[in-house]
Amino acid sequence: MTRGTWTRRIGMTAVATAAVTAMAVPAGAQAATATGTTAVATVVAAEDVDYTTWQADCLTVMNQALPYLKQRIAAAEPGEKQALVLDIDNTTLETDFGFSYPQPANKPVLDVAKYAQEHGVALFFVTARPGIISGVTDYNLKYVGYKVSGLHVRGLFDLFKDVAAYKTAQRVNIESKGYTIIANIGNSATDLSGGHAEKTFKLPDYDGQLS
């Protein structure tokens, strides 16, 4: 499966927005392909990354996240509002590995997110995507099965900020609403730096090749 750039994705999304507006039922929905039975721990050069490898690498990380979350959710303090923070592109959605809209979920991450949302954990999505595509992004996440408690997109002034600082500020904002962020899942270092999460899980970006 071919891979495109983030910019190309946004262009595709903008086109798809018009299509969705025009149609009652969006076309092109496609199920995520379940693959990834082999755990690959080695770093793979970006030019060698294919869909199967990516899925296997994501599964390896989520196989560490799930037992932690099960334990942490079970150990919730009385009245504790638990939250999971997730990046979107190439974390919750298959941004760079498909051409459809809605974009398919990244299955290993969806499986973990579903466990969390079914056990009372609020899901907050923090993305560098600009606010102009907030609506289609929200629709896409819900369409593929995520329960969205909050979607943080970049506003006009946020676009001039450092991505890591912007994302950290969103987690501070989530905490200020009384949530305990038990985990933060992303595929870029800028998704995870800056603290304000009890644990972080890093999916592959193959040296920045995946947005």
Residue ranges that bind Mg ion, judged by CB under 5 A: 87, 89-90, 187
Closer residue to Mg ion, CB minimum distance, 73 or 167: 167
Residue 82 or 95 with smaller CB distance to Mg ion: 95
Q: By C-beta, is 20 or 93 nearer to Mg ion?
A: 93
Query: In whole angstroms, how close is the CB of 74 to Mg ion at the nearest point?
Result: 29
Residue with tokens 């959710």: 73
Provide the 8-state DSSP code for 172: H
Smallest gap from residue 203 Cβ to Mg ion (A): 8
Q: Which is nearer to Mg ion, 89 or 94 (CB)?
A: 89
127: three-class secondary structure by DSSP: strand
Place of tokens 């190309």: 8
String of DSSP letters for 37-62:
-S---S---GGG--HHHHHHHHHHHH
Closest contact distance (angstroms) between CB of 75 and Mg ion is 29
Query: Contact 124/152 with Cβ under 8 angstroms?
Result: yes
Residue 115 and residue 138: Cα distance in Å, rounded?
A: 20
Please state, as a whole number, how many other Cβ atoms lie within 10 Å of the Cβ of residue 66: 16
Q: Which amino acid is at 20?
A: V
What is the C-alpha to C-alpha distance for residues 91 and 117, in angstroms, rounded to an integer? Answer: 16
Strands 148-154, 200-202: pairing is unpaired
Give least dist CB 25 to Mg ion, A: 28
Residue nearest Mg ion by beta-carbon distance: 89
Q: Measured from the CB of residue 148, what is the shortest distance to Mg ion in angstroms?
A: 17
- Name which of 90 and 137 has its Cβ closer to Mg ion: 90
Residue (73 or 106) nearer to Mg ion, CB: 106
Which two structure tokens, joined as six digits, stand for 167? 């994302």
CB of 77 to Mg ion, least distance (A): 31
